[in-house]
Structure 1
Amino acid sequence: MKSFDQLAVIGLREWINLPQLGVIGLRAKIDTGASTSSLHASDIQPFERDGQPWVRFTAHIGTLVQRRHRCEAPLLSVKKIKSSNGQAQSRYVIRTLLTLGAREWPVDFTLTCRKTMRYRLLLGAKALVDGQLLVNPALTYVQDKPTLADPGAQ
């Protein structure tokens, strides 16, 4: 049996932070069948800042108690995505830092309405590869819940 020491093990569900967006303590569903990661967002408005494309949106945090958080991020692209039900739609794509356990790395997210989904964030295969993560589907919440990083530590 081979082992891969450089890979961190995660479960099917994990706690994450998106520190650049100010989103802390969000439950994520790990989906190895999805290439791209997605974040539940509403009120999505593209705009320009210093001649560069940006997007403003409301991130929805929590399932039982719904909290809304207004975010802004540089717009990476607009991508055509085929959802699990086979429908294609154009989605705005942003890149932001993701914290999972002790790891932090940039992840591309499509912004979409996930209000009918249990998890507000879906972490796809590209993010798993970039984060060097190995998924054990028999486990959940393997990594410690990330906390807000000390601003003086960076």
Structure 2
Amino acid sequence: MKTFDHLSVIGLREWVALPGLGVANLRAKIDTGASTSSLHATEIEPFERDGEPWVRFIAHLGSLKQLRDHPCEAPLVSMRLIRSSNGHEQMRYVIRTSLALGDRLWEVEFTLACRKRMRYRLLIGSKALVHGQLVVNPGLKYVQDKPAYPATTFPATGAA
């Protein structure tokens, strides 16, 4: 069996932060079957800033019992047709923002989607795992420490 020292191990669930959106202490589900990562968002509204496409939205964070709304803005990367595991296709907005997991911080693309029926508000897909040089041990949960990015250092939105 080969091992790779440069890869970090994570579990099926991990604590993450999205510093570019001002979000800390968010539980994420790791989904190696999903290509793109996804964030629960509603009230998605495209707009222009300095001639560039942006999107504003409400990110819904926390659990079903303690849901909190967080207004965000981020540059719009693209619109993408996404096919869910049950075969349903949906056109989604795609943003790129920083993801902090353990002691790592890197840029990840997220589709904005309604995940209100899902237990986890954030899904981390296989592209993010590859770029973060992470491997998943499906028998583990919350392997990494919570990211050390205090929420008070984040901007209020993804705006520059």
Aligned counterpart, 2:46? 46
Does the 8 Å contact 2:18/2:99 carry over to 1? yes
Aligned CA RMSD, in angstroms, stands at: 1.1
Equivalent-residue separation in structure 2 for 1:34 and 1:115 (angstroms) = 18
Amino acid at match of 1:86: G
Equivalent-residue separation in structure 1 for 2:142 and 2:133 (angstroms) = 17
Amino acid at match of 1:99: A
Aligned counterpart, 1:117? 118
Equivalent-residue separation in structure 2 for 1:91 and 1:23 (angstroms) = 21
Amino acid at match of 2:81: K
Please report how far the alpha carbon of residue 5 of structure 1 lies from its aligned counterpart in structure 2 after TM superposition. Answer: 0.4
Moved over 6 A (4+): none
Q: Can you give the 5+ residue segments of structure 1 that lack an aligned partner in the other structure? A: none
Please report how far the alpha carbon of residue 85 of structure 1 lies from its aligned counterpart in structure 2 after TM superposition. Answer: 1.6
Q: How does 1:13-28 map to 2 (within 5 A)?
A: 13-28=13-28
Task: Out of 109-118 and 83-92, give the one that drifted further.
Answer: 83-92
Q: Can you give the 5+ residue segments of structure 2 that lack an aligned partner in the other structure? A: 154-160
TM-score normalized by the length of structure 1: 0.95
CA deviation string 1:4-56 (max 9, x = no partner): 10000000000000001001111000000000000000000000000000000
Percent identity reads 69
Does the 8 Å contact 1:24/1:147 carry over to 2? no
Aligned counterpart, 1:35? 35
Q: How does 1:128-139 map to 2 (within 5 A)?
A: 128-139=129-140
Aligned counterpart, 1:79? 80
Does the 8 Å contact 2:36/2:124 carry over to 1? yes
Q: What is the aligned length?
A: 151
Equivalent-residue separation in structure 2 for 1:85 and 1:134 (angstroms) = 25
Amino acid at match of 1:2: K
